[in-house]
Structure 1
Amino acid sequence: MKITPETKKVYELFPIQGKRCYAIPTYQRNYSWKNEQIEQLFTDVLEEGRGYYIGNLLVTDSSDKDAFDVIDGQQRLTTISLFYLAMAHELKEYKRQPSIKDDEDLCDEIAGKIQDIKRQLRLPGCQEPRISLLPHDQKIYRDLMESVLSTKKDQVKRWGNRILSRRYEFICSLFEEVLTTPRELLDYSDKLNELEVLQIEVPDIGDAFNVFSSLNSKGLPLTLIDLLKGEFISVGSNGAGSAEKVLAQWEKLTELFAAQDADADNRLVTQFLLNNYDAFEGTGSAITKGRALSEYRKVIKEHYHNHEDYLDILLLRAKAFAQLTGNAANEMDDHTLEVKIAALQKLESTQALPLLLFLFVNKKELGIVDYLVNIADMLISFYVRRNITLTPKSSNIRSFMLSTLREIREQNLRGQDVVKVVCDALVAHSASDEIFAASLDEGIYDKNKKTTRYVLIDIERRKGHSPLFNKQHPDSLDDFKVKKNGKNHPRWSIEHILPEGSLPSYWCSMIAPGEEQDAGEIQSEHVHRLGNLTLTPYNSELGQKPFYCEDDPEQKSKRDYKAPDNGEYVGLRSGLFLNRSIADEAAGEALENKETWTVEDIDRRNEILKRYVLELYKVPEVNSAE
């Protein structure tokens, strides 16, 4: 059997010139990567150094030296092509902005990059994609490419719940949220081009399956976790006892990140190891997976040289990390603090994990046991403001969090001095009240859905005391339900009063009377604003229903919709505090009599809810931390 292994850069797999192309054989499965796998690859490209190795690409050759069948690696290859496509889309959007047009050099660079991506994704001399997916995916893939790479403004067809389409939308959201300037996009493109794969080329399908079976005979490839486990056994068993003892300690650590009757989640264990290094061992920038093994080798040897059982130390820290990430089997001693940490998890505050881990593990030595709730409150306000204003950039948050952590460590701070340093750092990097208020006048749902949901629930609980809920009907705002696909979904979801999607004629007439042709533009400007949002456990049933319907209102209108099983109001008259402001009570309106929902209503309600948000999530005050 002839096997030809060769290291390739991604730009060689997607060359600007040349006819290199790939086909996914019919026996392969369709595109199936989930958001977690996509985000991990996206983050690896962002955080790791240039030339980062991302895995193998197993292909068979053919009579055409430039054409390959992909046996293993099609998910990664397809995802990379979607990354290129999303970058082209974002760069086209920037190119249209007046501020960019004034910078001729940048404009030329953007135009050049878009042309490069077009040539990387298409075969020369035709419009055919360089990758041929299975028919189920290829129609969507062609449509996406035509939409983004044509000279017209992107007009992507709706493909419903088809996986490839939904994953592409998720990829676009990553690029839009994390890479917020043209320069960041251009730099990311350069790093993507420099990624490395090991291409393994074999003559035919029989040989390919032999190689594939051999590569996967022991399950997944060796990971950072596997390698560190071996390092602990090698070093730790000499200084701390037998290999069996070390292995038992290691299993206790990894079991902290395992669901019931399941293996440890390697992603969570890796996340812990990286955050542990940044919190306790690092002195510079954040550790990457590429550097982690070599750096941990030094740490492990140093601890065991000093007769310290480093696995015991790691186990204590891992228990704290499991609590901070919501993976612990046991509850925290302080219920209020547990609620605050759960809030930070919902606000996607992973950049703060090294700082929180350091503070939690050392809370007694630092003298901050009584201040942890205060610190958590400050972080909650910071993240709500950050996720709505997108200030500071996501890529800068971890850096200043690590700087704050190191200031506490190096200056040996204690008690209120620790709180003040954290507070000062958050104040220095928080958006101002003016910027926050201005952002609350714009759409917020399309910026960060999870934060929007958190804010709506928080308003309901803290401003309205949830009048809907009582002893007979306990608060269920954080409850989950299991759908048919086996995944947990929030019982309560966000409802757009003026709905998303193509508007029926009755909505067009309501928001643009006499000018129905402008309804779509009005909708796009106002649909995601705070004033147009509420919560409901019946989102799919309300959908495009009119605000009020005289004909069968209990089933056909959002205002009066009732649950078929018990006849209770579950539409806008559900009893939520949030829904009281739908009617203009100051003008004598009552929700049960209100028949219209207009832009003026959205503006009025937005002002009411904005005041609540500004009050609940103030910039941390230095004086209050003392």
Structure 2
Amino acid sequence: MAKIENHKYSIEEAFRECFYIVPDYQREYVWTDKEVHQLLDDINDEINGQSTKEYFIGTILVSPAALKNHYEVIDGQQRLTTFFLLLCALKHLFKGEPQESTISGLISTSYTDSNGDTQASLKLEPRYENAGEIMNKLVELNEEPIKTRSAVQAAGITTFGSLENIINAYGTIYRYLQENYKEKTALKKYWGYLANNVVFIQISTDISSALKIFETINERGVGLNPMDLLKNLLFTHVKTDEFTKLKDEWKKITKPLEKQKEKPLRFLRYFLMANYKIENDRSDAIVREDEIYDWFINKKNAALCDYSTKPFEFVRKIIKNVEWFIAFSSGKGNDGLDNLYMDNLRRLCGGAFSLHYVLLLAASTFPKALFDHFIQQLESFLFCYIFTKTPTKDLERSFSVWADELRAIAGITDATEQKQKLNEFLTERFDKNIQAKQAELSDDLKRYTLNSMQQYRTRYLLAKLTQYVDMAYKGLRTPGSLQDYTVLEIEHILPNNPQLTLRDDFTQSNPGKPYDIYKTMLGNLTLLEKPINIVASNNFFQTKCAEYKKCKYYLTSSIAELTTVGINSSINRINAKLQSFADWDAAAIEKRQELLSNLVSEIWKIEQVEVP
């Protein structure tokens, strides 16, 4: 069994006797103002309470490095890094005082290497991307936060994510000390307590044992999230000389998510439900964020993932799913190219709904044409559920189960059979559910107003309606991008800010019909080019009609006048579903609301794949 050493250190003893290395495979610095403030407040409370007792901050888990007194930090680097930044802030605040020299020796010092050469080194050296450069610059400058940040930027050092966290933490610490310890005597007392009374237990053992201890300490996610724990779990299944390789692969997971500001745990949860059959005691096929790590270490699930014997293969599977996840969230298809159907999904879902990524990831290996068809049907399904305000929890279990079915369809090699199975899925899972909610959707649309949903969804609704009418008018079958429609202005036919005479006229002509309600109804809304909207302004309907006729979008121009061409032209066919108006009163708004609601069932519907 590996030798395990325990030693109690004060902050001064630790940084005087030890060199701490944060290896590049470890979690980066993630503490925010909240965690930094909490640590500083805890120490401050002890000092204000006149305590002379030791203040225990927990355990630090390390593994001895090749050089004497050098240790790789396995667990505890968030605290050690914060204390190192605290020493840097204290050094500057004690400028010209005896304490400056003492603290300086705890921040960086020289030592003799095995060749007898003198080497200079920081007492805490983070080796993940650019962190060492940031830390060296901070120590070299020995300045207050604003000048430090400016110098880092001037040096062209990249700062985002964990690197930005380091700079922010230094500023937070520096300002905290300035605000709470303005007098030098108070600051000296603070330093005295920190140096001698703040203590931790340092556990030191070989790297393999340290990683296993780390897993045991954190197996319930205490202080770490499941993404960090999974990373550590994988490191326990590779050889030491493969750490760098695994670290580089792992960055292909975390960096893209970080740059896109995507939540890693949300992705990991969707990844599991999209790629594996989920079974639990609740029988709901759902993995919650706080259950992710427990799911991975379950023996049956571990065998499913096979990360113990094929860790790199497992990681590459996650990487591919990250690539798809980022692509989908950026409006791209499973071929990595811009995809107008995925763009439509983004406009519908916005940032408020993301559960559909479970289905998209499960279907990501479909042939492109089949995948694109699936996206279109998913859009229709989600429209129905989102516009009836169905709670997400009602879909969560279904999506996890449906993902199993989609993976099975993706695995079918015969193209004809694959299409047939997808058609069965679309009928059973999408179409039947839409039909079951059709009455509810129809009722909601009849009462729909500008305030019923987020404005971006109302804009999406109007854009799709306008595009559909344009396509029907021109006899087109394949839709283009919604971009040209979503940049149009939402016009209130009954003005949003009317002249007093117009409001009075409507109120007198439509007793019992509140103006402020009718002006926001879907039937009163349309899309209009900005220049025309400016001219139309808040005028009476008869005046506005002259401007509506100039609009190039038929859903709007038809309000003023229907165009008739031939006998059975595409224009005449769409006219049968539209109506022009001579007057604009409550009855006209209600009629147009009904008209638009009827169009919805023609637009958002499930269509089968053509099977030869």
1:306 to 306, 309, 322: 309
User: 1:224 deviation in Å?
Assistant: 4.2
C-alpha distance in 1 between matches for 2:525 and 2:539: 13
Distance 1:231 1:412 in 2: 30
CA contact (8 A) 1:279 1:405 kept: yes
Where do residues 526-537 of structure 1 align in structure 2 (5 Å cutoff)?
526-536=518-528
Once residues 269 and 395 of structure 1 are traced to their aligned partners in structure 2, the CA distance between those partners, rounded to angstroms, is 20
Map 1:272-421 → 2, pairs under 5 A: 272-284=267-279, 285-297=285-297, 303-309=306-312, 310-326=314-330, 333=335, 338-348=339-349, 350-360=354-364, 362-363=365-366, 369-390=368-389, 392-407=390-405, 414=412, 415=418, 416-421=420-425
Paired position in structure 2 for 1:491: 487
1:162-177 equivalences under 5 Å are none
Deviation at 1:409, TM superposition (A): 5.4
RMSD over aligned Cα atoms: 4.9
Tell me, yes or no, if the aligned pair for 1:404 and 1:422 is still in contact at 8 Å: no
Question: Aligned equivalents of 1:457 and 1:607: distance in 2?
Answer: 17
> What is the CA distance between 1:300 and its match in structure 2?
6.6
1:499-553 Cα shifts (integer Å, max 9, x gaps): 447x54233224222578x56x2432x3343321112454997599423399xx7
The answer to whether structure 1 residue 451 and structure 2 residue 457 are counterparts is yes
Q: Which has the larger radius of gyration?
A: 2
Asked if 1 retains the 8 angstrom alpha-carbon contact of 2:489 and 2:533, the reply is no
Distance 1:496 1:537 in 2: 13
Amino acid at match of 1:280: N
Aligned length: 375
Residue 548 of structure 1 corresponds to: 540
How far the C-alpha of 1:396 sits from its partner, in A, is 0.5
CA distance in 1, matches of 2:588, 2:509: 18
- Residue pairs, 1:50-69, within 5 angstroms: none
Name the counterpart of 1:599.
Answer: 586
Q: List gaps (5 residues or longer) in structure 1.
A: 1-52, 62-201, 215-220, 469-474, 481-489, 561-568
Is the partner of 2:356 in helix, strand or coil?
helix
Q: CA deviation at 1:374?
A: 2.8
CA contact (8 A) 2:523 2:589 kept: yes
Q: Give the conservation status (yes or no) of the 8 Å contact 2:363–2:407.
A: no
Query: Is the contact made by 1:460 and 1:577 (CA closer than 8 Å) also made in structure 2?
Result: yes
Q: 1:506 aligns with which of 493, 501, 516?
A: 501
TM-score by length of 2: 0.50
Question: CA-to-partner distance for each residue in 1:296-347, whole Å, 9 max, x for gaps?
Answer: 355678523233521111111211222221176xx65497x92212212222
User: Structure 1 531/594 Cα, relative in aligned 2: closer, same or farther at 3 Å?
Assistant: closer
In percent, how many aligned pairs have the same letter?
17
SS at match of 1:513: helix
1:544-623 aligned at under 5 Å gives the runs: 545-548=537-540, 573-583=550-560, 585=562, 597-618=584-605, 620=606
Secondary structure of the 2:527 match is strand
TM-score, L = length of structure 1 = 0.49
- Structure 1, residues 412-448: CA drift from partner, whole Å, max 9, x if none? 9741224412431123322444333333221153333
Q: Give the distance between the partners of 1:543 and 1:296, measured in 2 at CA.
A: 62
Residues 426 and 608 in structure 2, CA contact (< 8 A), matched pair in contact too: no
For the structure 1 residues 603 and 305, does the alpha-carbon distance in structure 2 shift closer, same or farther, using more than 3 Å as the test? same
Corresponding residue of 1:428:
432
Amino acid at match of 1:356: L
Letter in 2 for 1:527: K
Call closer, same or farther: CA 1:559–1:547 in 2, change over 3 Å. Answer: farther
Residue 60 of structure 2 is matched in structure 1 by none
Distance 1:242 1:294 in 2: 25
Shift of 1:585: 3.7
Partner of 1:44: none
Contact 1:352 1:401 in 2 (8 A): yes
* Structure 2 residue 246 is the aligned partner of structure 1 residue 246: yes
Aligned AA (1:379): L
State the shift of 1:615 in Å. Answer: 1.0
User: Does the residue aligned with 2:470 lie in a helix, a strand or coil?
Assistant: coil
Question: Aligned with 1:535: secondary structure?
Answer: strand
Distance 1:273 1:222 in 2: 15
